Structure 1
């Protein structure tokens, strides 16, 4: 895995601040991936660009941009 540049990490931090809700579309983890369609909450983005999560299923596995597939959950979707 190649490390992100600092400006890319800062962009991720602005895009995914603490409390942002995320839906995992697909995680590329061979051992224990977060199941597809799982919802979670952003805890923080580290200096390598990993998005650390608190998943609703109890997992805390981080998302790796450009490796894992995920989307921000819009407020309207959360109200359904």
Structure 2
């Protein structure tokens, strides 16, 4: 999925490094991450994947437009 430059800019502004997120849904059938797990955003790459350090120790990314997460207000 191609992410348009304006959408990528918006994602990077909304999900800045250090922001906390909670997983709502992940389409990866091999992932052991369960909905509700929380993590900290590390960065967003050029295709819009939100890279997260999950509290479980995983570092699996959230694929924009496929997986779903919730930004946790601090």
TM-score normalised to structure 2 length: 0.93
Query: After TM superposition, what 4+ stretches of structure 1 lie above 4 angstroms from structure 2?
Result: none
Secondary structure of 1:25's aligned partner: strand
Deviation at residue 7 of structure 1 after TM alignment: 1.5
**Alignment: residue pair count:** 74
What CA RMSD, in Å, does the superposition of the two structures yield over aligned residues? 0.9
Q: CA deviation at 1:31?
A: 1.0
Larger radius of gyration: 1
Question: TM-score, structure 1 length as denominator?
Answer: 0.87
Q: What is the DSSP-based 3-state SS (H/G/I as helix, E as strand, rest coil) of the residue aligned with 2:9?
A: helix
If asked which structure has higher relative contact order (CA below 8 Å, sep 6+), I would say 2
Where do 5+ consecutive residues of structure 2 fail to align? Answer: none
Ranges in structure 1 where 5+ consecutive residues have no aligned partner: 76-80
